[in-house]
């Protein structure tokens, strides 16, 4: 249920309604938009008659039932597009398309620093890199863990970039949060509900990747887990899904951009690296994503992909990333966006 507040309602009137809702055992989620203030009512209690009686309070315009299972992530909860502030001068969901780039895995100080300097010069705003690497094989490189986090933070501080890195264990949320600006939840952890709840208790933005076989409904319900804990700073990331096709690493579902924007107010990012698995397909996929309305891209870039300890085959060289950024700027102009 959503309560739409009258324009002339006083703070005292709004507080009375919020107090009554919480007295009934529900959780309230006030949200003030450009034109209206609404109060979301979340909870499993069956007290419809009591909820409907809230319409008698002064200052209440109307009560609107939410039919979607994702109450907070859905369009019923918020009109327009959510713009999420990531740093002092960096946000996502507005006219500027956010580009995040960097190696799949942090391997060394030199590797990360050279990448950070290069992507910054090319126009990226966020440095990506994995310090904790959940891999299909237990024998693959698993990451440098806290030392990797420190390397990312130093590189970001020296270049003025923000950091995004994956957290894979609920017990590591506090540790990773000490170094990163944005949490990344990988595809394998999209339905790790304990992890989703933990990042939901923080105030840091969360980039949530779609699971390998997740439907849109399941994807948005995972976002709902984070938002239900009070953190509304969720970014949806399409990184390809598993289908019968095995030429590409995954099948990149670009139609997810308009679909998710129809269903949700949250920003949508595309990962063309995992979505294709081939460096030479990253460019075309990125261009298509920008043309279809993506709010951001997260691209794997490495100084020497042939020596990468993880995902070298889908990583762009620094010079190729620079060329791609120039091409993307032209495409962005056509759809009234900028990079």
| Neighbouring residues of 333: CB distance < 8 A, sequence distance ≥ 6 | none
Confidence tier at 36 by pLDDT (50, 70, 90): confident
pLDDT at 28 over 90: no
Q: What are phi and psi of 276, to 5 degrees?
A: -115, -40
3 state SS of 12: helix
Tell me the mean pLDDT in the region 48-65: 82
Beta bridge partners of 93: none
Distance, CA of 164 to CA of 176 (rounded, Å): 10
Q: Which domains does the chain have, with CATH numbers?
A: 2-64 (3.30.70.1140), 84-334 (3.20.20.70)
Percentage, residues of the chain above pLDDT 90: 73
Higher pLDDT, 142 or 191: 191
Q: Contact 162/120 with Cβ under 8 angstroms?
A: no
Q: What is the pLDDT of residues 206-248, one digit of tens each?
A: 999 999 999 999 999 999 999 999 999 999 999 999 999 999 9
Distance, CA of 298 to CA of 271 (rounded, Å): 5
3 state SS of 278: coil
Distance, CA of 39 to CA of 224 (rounded, Å): 16
Percentage, residues of the chain above pLDDT 70: 94
Tell me the mean pLDDT in the region 33-42: 78
Q: What is the DSSP code string of 170-237? A: GGGHHHHHTT-SEEEE-GGGTT-HHHHHHHHTSSS-EEEEPPTT--HHHHHHHHHHHHHTT---EEEE
Query: Which pLDDT value is given to residue 59?
Result: 87
pLDDT at 150 over 90: yes
């Amino acid at each position: 249920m959503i309560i739409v507040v009258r324009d002339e309602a006083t703070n005292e009137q709004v507080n009375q309604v919020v107090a009554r809702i919480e007295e009934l055992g529900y959780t309230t989620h006030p949200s003030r938009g450009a034109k209206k203030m609404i109060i979301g009512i979340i909870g499993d209690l069956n007290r419809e008659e009591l909820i409907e009686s809230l319409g008698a309070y002064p200052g209440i315009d109307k009560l609107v039932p939410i039919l979607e299972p994702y109450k907070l992530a859905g369009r019923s909860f918020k009109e327009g597009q959510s713009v999420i502030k990531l740093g002092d001068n960096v946000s996502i969901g507005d006219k500027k398309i956010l580009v995040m780039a960097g190696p799949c895995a942090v391997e060394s100080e030199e590797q990360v620093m050279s990448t950070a300097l290069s992507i910054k010069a090319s126009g990226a705003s966020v440095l990506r890199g994995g310090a904790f690497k959940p891999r299909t094989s237990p024998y693959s490189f698993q990451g440098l863990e806290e030392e990797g986090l420190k390397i990312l933070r130093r590189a970001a501080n020296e270049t003025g970039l923000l950091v995004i890195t994956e957290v894979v264990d609920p017990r590591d949320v506090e540790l990773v949060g000490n170094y990163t600006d944005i949490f990344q939840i990988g595809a394998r952890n999209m339905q790790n509900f304990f992890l989703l709840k933990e990042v939901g208790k923080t105030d840091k933005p969360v980039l949530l990747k779609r699971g390998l076989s997740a439907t849109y409904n399941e994807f948005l319900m995972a976002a709902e887990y984070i938002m239900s804990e009070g953190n509304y700073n969720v970014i949806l990331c399409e990184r390809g899904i598993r289908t019968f096709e095995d030429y590409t690493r995954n099948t990149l579902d670009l139609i997810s951009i308009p679909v998710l924007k129809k269903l949700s107010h949250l920003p949508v990012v595309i990962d063309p690296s995992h979505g294709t698995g081939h460096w030479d397909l990253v460019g075309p996929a990125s261009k298509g994503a920008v043309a279809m309305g993506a709010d951001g891209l997260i691209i794997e870039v490495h100084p020497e992909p042939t020596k990468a300890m993880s995902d070298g085959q889908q990583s762009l060289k620094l010079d190729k990333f620079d060329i791609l950024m120039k091409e993307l700027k032209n495409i962005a102009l056509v759809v009234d966006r900028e990079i």
